[in-house]
């Protein structure tokens, strides 16, 4: 029997499982961010500036001036660590209050991907094949899952955008490391975009940092386009992170209606968003 992943709306209690996953993901990119910050021009400028000040103004010997290099590196590590920790704390606060942030009105929502796996199966999740389906399909399939354990392996949230009028904003797309490259993020994105279409949004925007591996490839593949790139200062002026803002344009009412009629019946997870839109264009 194939393992299954069900895409469903958030239920209170789910957050206990995914808070740690998202936090680990944020802190996991810390080393990459430190390395990237160290190779930036400002690091070299800081090293030269601090050595020059020590040498010229304080008459320090060259050896001591050189010893400033590890101090600058430690400072950059500490600044990056603090920046990431602050972000993780902020995100964790949001995740501990999903009902208030995402589920309190009709224009926002939070979904999770829940994997069902037999208790006895010892094979690593990476080697397993998964069928991804909606909750409706899951109930329709009448599968027996009493001998299976469940785990939240993916998340995504959608809110009304503060920047774009009638735009939606996607946040917290994250997939458990063991469950990547199985189409779970694509399915969560499709679910969120379908929701945005049904709610009458005109576009769906999101931002991804230079350290999130694969997210731009995934977004471009789903139909997002690059809107702008910007540097966000974290612990000024020591560190900064490059962000890519991407947008998915919801074309017209026809697309929306098409999705609406699709979603009224059992939705079709095997159809990607791209193929649904290709079908609309063909009509």
Ligand X SMILES: CC(C)(COP(=O)(O)OP(=O)(O)OC[C@H]1O[C@@H](n2cnc3c(N)ncnc32)[C@H](O)[C@@H]1OP(=O)(O)O)[C@@H](O)C(=O)NCCC(=O)NCCS
Least distance in angstroms from the C-beta of 26 to ligand X: 6
- The stretch near ligand X (CB under 6 A) out of 102-110, 139-147, 184-192, 241-249 is 184-192
In the 3-class helix/strand/coil scheme, how is 92-155 assigned residue by residue?
Answer: HHHHCCHHHHHCCCCCCEEEEEEEEEECCCCCCHHHCCEEEEEHHHHHHHCCCCCCEEEEEEEE
In the complex with ligand X, the residue whose CB is nearer, 46 or 168, is 168
Which of positions 1-30 make contact with ligand X (CB under 6 A)? 22, 25-26
Taking CB under 6 A as the binding criterion, the range among 7-15, 131-139, 142-150, 209-217 that sits at the site for ligand X is 209-217
* Positions in 148-177 near ligand X (CB under 6 A): 172-175
- Give alpha helix (H) positions in 175-252: 184-198, 215-222
In angstroms and rounded to an integer, the radius of gyration of the C-alpha atoms of the chain is 23
Rounded to the nearest whole angstrom, what is the least distance from the CB of residue 66 to ligand X in the complex? 37
Three-state SS for 282? helix
- Tokens linked to 245: 């803002």
Instruction: CB nearer to ligand X: give 117 or 182.
Output: 182
User: What residues are paired with 168 via a beta bridge?
Assistant: 160, 204
Distance separating the N- and C-terminal Cα atoms of the chain = 38
Q: Kindly tell me which of 54 and 273 has the beta carbon lying closer to ligand X.
A: 273
Binds ligand X (CB under 6 A): choice among 38, 218, 277, 280: 218
Per CB under 6 A, residues contacting ligand X are 22, 25-26, 172-175, 180-186, 212-215, 217-218, 221
């Amino acid at each position: 029997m194939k393992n299954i992943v069900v895409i469903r709306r958030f239920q209170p209690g789910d957050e206990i499982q995914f808070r740690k996953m998202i936090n680990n993901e944020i802190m996991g990119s810390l080393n990459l961010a430190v390395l990237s910050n160290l190779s930036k021009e400002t690091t070299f400028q800081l090293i030269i500036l601090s050595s020059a000040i020590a040498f010229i103004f304080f008459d320090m010997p060259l050896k001591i001036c050189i010893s400033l290099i590890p101090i600058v590196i430690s400072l950059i590590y500490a600044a990056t660590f603090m920046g990431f920790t602050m972000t993780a704390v902020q995100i964790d606060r949001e995740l501990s209050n999903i009902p208030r942030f995402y589920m309190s009105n009709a224009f926002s929502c939070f979904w999770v991907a829940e994997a069902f796996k037999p208790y006895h199966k010892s094979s690593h999740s990476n080697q397993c094949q998964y069928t991804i389906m909606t909750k409706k399909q899951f109930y329709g399939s009448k599968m027996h899952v009493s001998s299976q354990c469940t785990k939240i392996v993916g998340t995504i949230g959608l809110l009304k955008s503060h920047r774009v009028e009638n735009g939606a904003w996607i946040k917290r797309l994250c997939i458990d490391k063991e469950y990547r490259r199985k189409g779970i993020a694509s399915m969560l994105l499709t679910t969120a975009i379908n929701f945005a279409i049904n709610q009458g949004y005109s576009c769906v925007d999101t931002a991804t940092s230079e350290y999130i591996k694969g997210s731009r490839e995934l977004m471009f593949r789903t139909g997002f386009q690059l809107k702008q790139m910007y540097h966000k200062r974290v612990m000024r002026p020591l560190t900064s992170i490059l962000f890519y803002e991407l947008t998915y344009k919801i074309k017209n009412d026809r697309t929306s209606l098409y999705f609406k009629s699709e979603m009224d019946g059992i939705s079709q997870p095997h159809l990607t968003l791209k193929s649904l839109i290709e079908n609309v264009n063909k009509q």
